[in-house]
A and B are shown apart, each in its own frame.
Chain A
Amino acid sequence: MRATLGNQADASGHALGQLLDKIAGHKGCGTSGGEGKASCGSSAGPADMAPEVWEKVKNHPCYSEEAHHHYARMHVAVAPACNIQCNYCNRKYDCANESRPGVVSEKLTPEQAAKKVLAVASAIPQMTVLGIAGPGDALANPVKTFRTFELIAKTAPDIKLCLSTNGLALPDYVDTIKAFNVDHVTITINMVDPEVGQHIYPWIFYRNKRYTGIDAARILSERQLLGLEMLTAAGVLTKVNSVMIPGINDRHLVDVNRAVKSRGAFLHNIMPLISAAEHGTVFGLNGQRGPTAQELKQLQDECEGEMNMMRHCRQCRADAVGLLGEDRSAEFTSDKIDAMGEVVYDLDTRKQYQELVEVERQDKVAARESALQEIDATDIRILVAVATTGQGRINEHFGHAHEFQIYEVGSGGAKFVGHRRVDLYCQGGYGEEDTLPSVVRAINDCHAVFVARIGGCPRDELQAAGIDPVDRFAHEFIEESAIRYFGEYFAKVCAGDIEHRPRGDADIRQGAFTAAA
């Protein structure tokens, strides 16, 4: 996999690959096989961000879209209990909507979890963030959650800690969160109006009592917003996740966006509802549909004027290990961890890797800037799909891609807007004829697809569908290439050689990501 980084990769790209090879000896930091959800990330760089905030998020794969090419988070399943019920959740199963495993996934004690984190961080220097997100609610299991943080902070002080919560218990734990030096909290807020909330939450358990209906939604909403305000006052960075449920809260999420922004949320991540009958959820069973890619993007764009939107989140599994999207959990099951004996934490190699990444990131920014200077201003924007295994380069073969990264490009630059997962479409058969139409559907809103290589057959089919297959930027930086491509496209439009036409909508893959690495 590393070899595909290829001969045109520059010196720092090589050095990164070699260092990773040395450490890992197996396939490295690809972003292959993530979740096919288009959603969100901060596209904002240092320019429009307070330095102390940038310092906090720059190596966080969930918060910085640039960082997620190079850095990884892992989640440990130490928190099985929950204190609310959501209509999109069936906790027996891995949750498709939130970053959390189901209760049947491997449960870990805080001690096992801490050991797993150290083992993974030593083997994978990209691992910079540890999250606790479930299977239930991190703060409905406060003893386990904070004990895990305590153990990790002791041995691996360079790892950032974060947690996800539904917010019901949050106001009770803001002081503890601060005391444990947790620097990112994610709150899932799907509504700020109990009238809307009653259709999402059948009940909550609060202060020794079960509440249902509108009362439940009212209490939950009050606690969520109070918790957010308290975190902001305490200086803890807070991201808000929202699940977009067409017909229930889709229009309302604009209000949610305003409400969370005014209370100091740093990022708002709007995720599509993923809902299918086989999930056994209320929404799955009553046929509630998720949004299309276009509906989702429209809402994200609408909210973007208001605040940073996060688009690269892939609703990855909460116990996933590796760069966002690349699930390496199978290498670190508790059996294997227990068998490992004492884990030696390798801080030096981790530092070395992170320094190389900084050089690569600066090169990428410089390349992007110079490409941008050559294009006149225009309102025209197009989407391109990119096959990549990571590190911000076009370095994946079309036929090997499990997912495509989607970039929106115009004269203002190239912006990452989401992922499209395609591997699940292949389940029916392995022949390319079965797969291709669904790949085309998944990227049907794109004008072009950038790949390292592509065979003759898919090339023809893509062209027939009006998608331009492009392999001449193989192994180059994604953003720079996208801008160059746009420059050429725009020049042809100006010359009258082609006519610019918007493309159609695309599918969002259904189903949780449960495949092992």
Chain B
Amino acid sequence: MAYKIIASQCTGCSACEPECPNVAIREKNGVFIIDPKKCTECIGHFDDAQCVAVCPVDNTCVIDTGYPRYQA
């Protein structure tokens, strides 16, 4: 699995972008998106998913169940 950002809730504040250890986050049309191919759920880097921990809007960075669980 990877994380995704719910676009309708994203304020575009950019806080998540520099925190991602895999440079998986970028801006698109004023909001931010996660590249599921790059996202490792922060496994191997941090205990908590960084985008989730820094995002000011609760439940905006969430698990994307459309992808299989990430294997380190």
Contact = CB atoms under 8 A, between A and B. Distances in A.
Interface of A: 80-83, 85, 91-92, 103-104, 107, 135-136, 140-141, 143, 205, 208-210
Contacts of A205: 15, 19, 53-54
Contacts of B54: 81, 83, 205, 210
Nearest to A208: B46
A385 B47 CA distance: 57
30 contacts: A80-B12, A81-B14, A81-B15, A81-B17, A82-B13, A82-B15, A83-B15, A83-B54, A85-B56, A91-B11, A91-B13, A91-B56, A92-B11, A103-B11, A103-B12, A103-B13, A104-B11, A136-B13, A140-B15, A141-B14, A143-B18, A205-B19, A208-B19, A208-B48, A208-B53, A209-B47, A209-B48, A209-B53, A210-B48, A210-B54
Contact of A81 (B13, B46, B50, B53): B13
Contacts of A136: 13, 15
Given A135-B13, A208-B46, A208-B50, 19 more contacts: A80-B12, A80-B13, A80-B15, A81-B13, A81-B17, A81-B54, A82-B56, A83-B54, A85-B56, A92-B11, A103-B12, A103-B13, A104-B11, A136-B15, A205-B19, A205-B53, A208-B48, A208-B53, A209-B53
SS class, residues of chain A in contact with chain B: loop
Interface string B39-72: 0000000111010011010000000000000000
A103 B10 CA distance: 11
B8 to A, nearest CB: 12
Name the residue in A82, A83, A140, A208 with the highest tally of chain B Cβ atoms < 10 Å from its Cβ. A208
A204 to B, nearest CB: 10
Contacts of A104: 11
Interface of B: 11-15, 17-19, 46-48, 50, 53-54, 56
Contacts of B46: 208-209
Name the residue in A82, A83, A205 with the highest tally of chain B Cβ atoms < 10 Å from its Cβ. A205
Nearest to A107: B12
A208 B54 CA distance: 8
Nearest to A135: B13
A140 B13 CA distance: 11
Contacts of B56: 82, 85, 91
A478 B19 CA distance: 52
Contacts of B18: 81, 143
Contacts of A107: 12
B53 A210 contact: yes
A82 B53 CA distance: 12
Contacts of B13: 80-82, 91, 103, 135-136
B60 to A, nearest CB: 12
A453 B14 CA distance: 50
Contacts of A91: 11, 13, 56
A79 B53 CA distance: 19
A210 B42 CA distance: 14
A136 B53 CA distance: 16
Contacts of A85: 56
A113 B14 CA distance: 17
Contacts of A83: 15, 54
B52 to A, nearest CB: 8
A103 B30 CA distance: 11
Contacts of B12: 80, 103, 107
A136 B15 CA distance: 9
A92 B18 CA distance: 20
A201 to B, nearest CB: 12
B19 A80 contact: no
A210 B54 CA distance: 7
Name the residue in B15, B17, B53 with the highest tally of chain A Cβ atoms < 10 Å from its Cβ. B15
Contacts of A140: 15
A93 B17 CA distance: 21
B10 to A, nearest CB: 10
* Those 9 A-B pairs whose CB atoms lie nearest each other, nearest first: A81-B15, A210-B53, A205-B54, A80-B13, A103-B11, A81-B14, A208-B46, A103-B13, A80-B14
